[in-house]
Amino acid sequence: MHLKGKVWKFGNDIDTDAIIPARYLNTSDPKELAKHVMEDADKDFPSKMQAGDIIVAGKNFGCGSSREHAPIALKAAGINAVIARSFARIFYRNAFNIGLPIFESTDASEHIQEGDAIEIDAGNGTVKNLSAGKEYSAKPIPPFMRELISAGGLIEWTKNKMKGAA
Amino acid sequence: MMTITEKILAAHAGKDEVVAGELINAKVDLVLANDITAPISITEFGKSGAAKVFDKDRIALIPDHFTPQKDIKAAEQCKMLREFSKKHQLSLYFEVGRMGIEHALLPEQGIVVPGDLVIGADSHTCTYGALGAFATGVGSTDVAAAMASGECWFKVPESMKFIYYGKLNKWASGKDLILHTIGDIGVDGALYRAMEFEGEAISGLPMYGRLTMCNMAIEAGGKNGLIVPDTITEEYVKGRAKRPYKFYYSDPKASYVEVKEYDCSKIPLTVSCPHLPSNTKPAQELSGVTVDQVVVGSCTNGRLEDLREAAQILKGRKVNPNVRMIIFPATQLIYKQAMHEGLMDIFIDAEAVVSTPTCGPCLGGHMGILAKGERAIATTNRNFVGRMGHPESEVFLSNPAVAAASAVLGRIGTPEELGL
């Protein structure tokens, strides 16, 4: 799978309150959540981003609350993928569970600039910066997370497992 | 040679031993979710095709965030929890009037016990580590899968040890220890790791302070916080535990990826400044910071002892005319005990408002939202941008005594400044 898009850059420690503020959590409708994505990090973000764009951030992306609404809002808004130097633990699980592609790469996080066009090869973790003509590598996706993805997410994986046990 | 975290995980995975980094599938003793996270869990559970939940007595659904139902949408979400609980005959559904803030309610009612493995669709689920349980926050889909299967996958975390020597300074509490620690290691200083707290100061720390410390492990990126059980744990759980419990201990030669040591005499009354819990400063250096609102409560500091600390400061004093003070006891039982002890009289005479148990103001949900440019000091756990209201408002975090003193002074201050 190749993920191609234009980059929006964010800094370190982007918390889930910035990704989707709690004042909008009286619903879990992905379309409603998408309207406010990243609003407290950049209030114009929901209007200026386009479906297919990619977020590149610093360390500890998605820290704070366990709200799955955060990756859901990003996915529903059409964010193609998130690259960060590191991800907070619960956000990392949630992203895989709901099918938002995420990649860890210090090089990509440091060198990619806002507005760059990039292409990620999800299979081998290669990140190509089409604007700068450079290439970076992301950490390979752990085997178990690949298993979750190929099963179609955690619920499908659990279904298969429970069937196997029955 | 295992840590307490490894032992609890091994026992629930049916293994003699686990090592850090290992991926395991483990049985859970309790699964919880609230009115914000459970609706997604319920929808995903529906997609799993499971006809029934794994155990009707092991799933706690607690509408505590936007309750009492703040608007129509929030009421619809709460209705989903109620209907699901009825359909599956869940014994651990807590309706308004019986509920409390989840992480105060479950230990108080003896629903989580030492040795448990607990997951919750709420990041502060790590609170129960104070009882010697392994407890961690997950997302709604993880909870949905566990509601169906009774299991969850984990990567066994590396453990990090924090040793606190000596005695706490006057008015310092578990909150100051954990804020100071987060200030030292940063908001990702324990990312993916277990945080084990020990030392002389922890041995003497009452359960409410231990719950506060483990509650904020997530604010350092930790997977869980843990305190090895002792006589204080035994005292707390006996008489309230609803299930048999087991004490696990770390082996003396267990492996820790890092050990941090602190001298408590050097830990001042500590305040986290906007917009990260790691942005800490001694309270006395912030005396020029005026506040518009003071909040005492939450899963971090809404227990009876926290309210008593605030009351000690407020007794015979008035909240500054420029300040709104909101106190929210974390459970109905705490509310009632505070009433019996006369704390409510002290609060109301001081011109503070006392709220029903709710997470409301902590996450900018309802019951005390900040306007643009306003500033609060709160005993809650997060001070991110927009956490308590307008994106251009500010939140400072402290213990209850500092918060109450600040309410009287109208600016950040300490009990000493009031002659206490």
Complete DSSP assignment for B311-346: HHHHTT----TT-EEEEE-SBHHHHHHHHHTTHHHH
Residues in chain B with CB shorter than 8 Å from the CB of A67 are: 36-37, 139
CB atoms within 10 A of CB B308: 16
**Tens of pLDDT along B64-123?**
999 999 999 999 999 999 999 999 999 999 999 999 999 999 999 999 999 999 999 999
Pair B401, B394: CB distance under 8 Å: no
Instruction: For chain B, give the mean pLDDT.
Output: 98
Distance CA A88, CA A73 (A): 17
Residues of A whose CB is below 8 A from B148: 158, 162
Q: Is B52 on the interface with A (CB under 8 A)?
A: no
CA angle B100, B104, B108 (to 5 degrees): 100
With an 8 Å Cβ cutoff, are B37 and A68 in contact?
A: yes
Angle at A99 between CA A96 and CA A100, to 5 degrees: 85
Does the structure's ipTM exceed the value 0.85?
Answer: yes
User: Of all residues in chain A, what percent are helix, strand and coil, respectively (each to 5)?
Assistant: 35, 20, 40
Check B48 against A86: CB less than 8 A apart. Answer: no
Q: Residue B417 phi/psi, 5° resolution?
A: -65, -20
Q: How many helices (H) and strands (E) does chain B have?
A: 14, 18
Mutation site, B53, B188, B219, B395, interface A, largest A CB count within 10 A: B188
Q: Residue A150: its pLDDT value, please? A: 83
Structure tokens at B386: 């927009």
Whether the per-residue pLDDT at A166 is higher than 80: the answer is no
Amino acid A141: pLDDT: 87
Q: Compute the Cα dihedral for B309, B268, B184, B5 and give only its sign.
A: negative
Strand partners, B62: B34
Q: Which residues of A touch B384 (CB under 8 A)?
A: 15, 17-18, 40, 64
- A146 pLDDT band (50/70/90 cuts)? confident
Say how many C-beta atoms besides its own lie within 10 A of residue A131's C-beta: 14
Q: Using an 8 Å CB-CB cutoff, list chain A residues near B123.
A: 64-66, 90
Q: Kindly report, residue by residue over B252-310, the tens digit of the pLDDT.
A: 999 999 999 999 999 999 999 999 999 999 999 999 999 999 999 999 999 999 999 99
φ, ψ of residue A66 in degrees (nearest 5): -85, 0
What pLDDT is attached to residue B239?
92
Answer for the pair B159, B194: CB distance below 8 angstroms, yes or no. Answer: yes
Do the Cβ atoms of A86 and A92 come closer than 8 Å?
no
pLDDT digit string (tens) for B358-403?
999 999 999 999 999 999 999 999 999 999 999 999 999 999 999 9
Q: Look at residue B164 and give its three-state secondary structure.
A: strand
Report pLDDT for B267: 98
- Strand B59-62 versus strand B30-34 pairing type: parallel
Contact A68 B43 (CB under 8 A): no
**DSSP SS3 for B209:** helix
Q: Is the pLDDT of residue A165 over 80?
A: no
Q: Write out the H or E segment, with its range, that includes residue B295.
A: strand B293-297
Report which secondary-structure segment, H or E, holds B162. Answer: strand B159-165
* A153 Cα distance to chain centroid: 15
Q: Do B121 and A28 touch (CB under 8 A)?
A: no
Q: What is the per-residue pLDDT across B213-263, written as a single tens digit (0 to 9) for each?
A: 999 999 999 999 999 999 999 999 999 999 999 999 999 999 999 999 999
Lookup result for tokens 């500092």: B402
**Chain A: residue nearest B122 by CA?**
A66
Q: Say yes or no: B160 contacts chain A, CB-CB below 8 A.
A: no
Whole-angstrom distance, CA of residue B63 vs CA of residue B68: 9
Mean pLDDT, residues B23-27 taken together: 97
Q: Which of B36, B70, B384 is opposite residue A67, by nearest beta carbon? A: B36
Each residue of B213-229: b (16+ CB within 10 Å) or e? bbbbbbbbbbbbbbbbb
Neighbours of A37 (CB within 10 A): 26
CA dist B314 and B281 (Å) reads 24
Instruction: Show the domains of chain B with their CATH numbers.
Output: 4-262 (3.30.499.10), 270-418 (3.30.499.10)
Residues in chain A with CB shorter than 8 Å from the CB of B48 are 155, 158-159
- Report d(CA B329, CA A164) in Å as an integer: 47
Q: What is the largest CA-CA distance in chain A?
A: 53
Over residues A115-145, the pLDDT tens digits come to 999 999 998 999 999 999 999 999 988 889 8
**Mean pLDDT over residues A6-19, rounded?**
98
Displacement of CA B79 from its chain's centroid (Å): 25
Residue B49 tokens, joined: 């095709």
- Residue B373 Rama label (left phi>0; alpha psi -120 to 50; beta): left
Q: Which residues of A touch B (CB under 8 A)?
A: 13, 15, 17-18, 21-23, 25-28, 39-41, 43, 59-60, 63-69, 72, 86, 88-90, 93-94, 97-98, 144, 153-155, 157-159, 161-162
Q: Say if B126 is an interface residue toward chain A (CB within 8 Å).
A: no
Residue of A nearest to B276 (CA): A13
B223 part of contact set with chain A, CB < 8 Å: yes
What mean pLDDT comes out for the span A4-25? 97
